[in-house]
Amino acid sequence: MPRLGPTLLSLALAGVMTLAAYTDPVLVGVAVLLVQVLIAVGPGPVDRAGIAIASPRLVPVLVAGVVATALSLEPDLLTGADGTSTDVIGISDTGVFAGAIPGVAAAVFVALVAQMLRRDGRTDLVQSVGYAVLLSATAVLAIGWIGAAQSIGGAACVAVAAAGVGAGLLAWMLPVDRWICLSLATLAGAAAGAAVVLAVDSIMTAYFGVLVGAAAAILAVVGQVVARTVGGHGTHPSVAWGFPGAMAIALVGPVAYLGGQLVTAA
């Protein structure tokens, strides 16, 4: 099955995220960096004729990932110099997603520098820069898993989102009409999320598990579909498993983070 490789990778990454969340948020950051590396080494863009477009993207994506991940693990870096900010008190206890903006900003700067260093006439400049920034922004979304692990919901919230990813992608592999398959994936994600909530000791409710699990399943499927669309029918080795598998996990990051914030708000 063409979806088997990406699905197994996504399940493995989701499992690693969960185990890391129950151990130490720093290990979640390491797992997030792995996801970002897999996105950074993904396929390049092509034009309408299917010809590859030169797009320096490895360094911009990695820079974006490192900046965003570091700020998520050490949110006190966002406070600035002593006495200049009092608006981020308590972010370490609730998780933070603010590292996404500096991460993308760093990626834009590095991507522009990379274009200046090109010696091929800088053809397809807009598409080249846009693709590098797109991958960087997508990779940055994975920091949501760190925010979820640092929220009041903690590891249990990460487990709910991971369960939604796993159940949704397994259902997505069924050889049926894609719209039916997406519906089954959503239901499977909701059921898995609710099951985890009922199985673990936490303040979350079954309704929370249904909501987060279903959203995680949908975005995991969307991540794989988008990755395959971007990768096209190219021969890049990451198209077969690494790129779609990592994209699915990255797109679920904001869902995991918002789930942690819902628990915090409650």
3-state secondary structure the chain: CCCHHHHHHHHHHHHHHHHHHCCCHHHHHHHHHHHHHHHHCCCCCECCCCCECCCCCHHHHHHHHHHHHHHHHCHHHHHCCCCCCCCCCCHHHHCCCCCHHHHHHHHHHHHHHHHHCCCCCCCCHHHHHHHHHHHHHHHHHHHHHHHHHHCCCHHHHHHHHHHHHHHHHHHHCCCCCHHHHHHHHHHHHHHHHHHHHHHCCCCCCHHHHHHHHHHHHHHHHHHHHHHHHHHCCCCCHHHHCHHHHHHHHHHHHHHHHHHHHHHHHC
pLDDT digits (tens, 9 = 90+) for 3-29: 788 899 999 999 999 999 999 989 999
Model confidence at 42: pLDDT above 60: yes
Q: What is the pLDDT of residue 46?
A: 72
Model confidence at 86: pLDDT above 50: no
Q: What is the mean pLDDT of residues 225-240?
A: 70
Model confidence at 97: pLDDT above 90: no
Q: What is the mean pLDDT of residues 160-189?
A: 93
Q: What is the pLDDT of residue 82?
A: 55
Model confidence at 202: pLDDT above 80: no
Q: What is the pLDDT of residue 172?
A: 92
pLDDT grade for 160, boundaries at 50, 70 and 90: very high
